[in-house]
Amino acid sequence: MQWQFLAYIVEFSERKREIKDLERKLFKKLENTKLGRAMLVTSIIAGIVDGISPLLLSLINISPLFLSYFGILGYDISLRASIILSILLLFMLGSFLGRISRENVVLFGAKMTLAAVFVIIFVRFFGVIA
SS3 95: helix
Q: Give the pLDDT confidence score for residue 68 in this predicted structure.
A: 92
What is the C-alpha separation between 123 and 116, in angstroms, rounded?
11
Q: Give the pLDDT confidence score for residue 7 in this predicted structure.
A: 67
Q: Give the pLDDT confidence score for residue 127 in this predicted structure.
A: 74
Q: For residue 43, give the nearest of 77, 86, 8 by alpha carbon.
A: 8
Question: Which domain, by its residues, includes 105?
Answer: 74-130
- pLDDT tens sequence for the chain (130 residues): 555 566 667 777 887 888 888 888 888 887 788 887 887 788 778 777 777 877 888 898 899 999 999 999 899 999 899 989 988 988 998 898 888 888 899 999 999 899 988 888 888 888 765 4
Same domain, 35 and 2: yes
Same domain, 41 and 53: yes
What is the C-alpha separation between 1 and 55, in angstroms, rounded?
11
Same domain, 86 and 120: yes
Q: CA triplet 41, 43, 45: central angle to 5 degrees?
A: 70
Q: CA triplet 83, 84, 88: central angle to 5 degrees?
A: 120
What is the C-alpha separation between 124 and 33, in angstroms, rounded?
53
Count up the domains in the chain and report the number: 2
